[in-house]
Amino acid sequence: MDYPLFIRPAAEAVASGECERGIVFGGSGNGEAMVANKVHGVRCALCWSEESARLSRQHNDANVLSMGERLDSGRSRARNCADLAGNSFDGGRHERRVAMLNAM
């Protein structure tokens, strides 16, 4: 499957404000994250655990999560990661770095 054809529209929906956040899935999640991060305004994080999902939101203000089916140990972990996408951004010391990401 040519996943860029599906991932890019999802990332563009987040970047345009049509969607507040997004979740993309693939085999490993790596390629999907790479595609999403090509879209200006998207900060896509590859998540393989609840902790990686939580930190991506709190520290990096990730607005798209990428998860890999081959790397996930089950649906419950994917659901937990998706739930963590609703966490808020901590701001503070992380704001400067996120601003740098947004300027790129």
Q: What confidence score (pLDDT) does residue 97 get? A: 84
Q: Which of 12, 18, 50, 59 is catalytic?
A: 59
The domain that holds 68 is classified in CATH as 3.40.1400.10
Number of domains in the chain: 1
Q: What confidence score (pLDDT) does residue 73 get? A: 55
Q: Which of 12, 18, 20, 32 is catalytic?
A: 32
3-state secondary structure of 94: helix
Beta carbons of 93 and 102 less than 8 angstroms apart: no
Q: What confidence score (pLDDT) does residue 74 get? A: 61
And the tokens for 44? 């896509």
Domain that includes residue 40, residue range:
4-103
Q: What confidence score (pLDDT) does residue 29 get? A: 92
pLDDT per position as a tens digit, 19-77: 999 999 998 999 999 999 999 999 999 998 888 888 998 888 999 999 988 766 566 67
Note if 40 is an active site residue: no
Note if 59 is an active site residue: yes
Q: Which residue has the tokens 């947004």?
A: 102
Q: What confidence score (pLDDT) does residue 1 get? A: 81
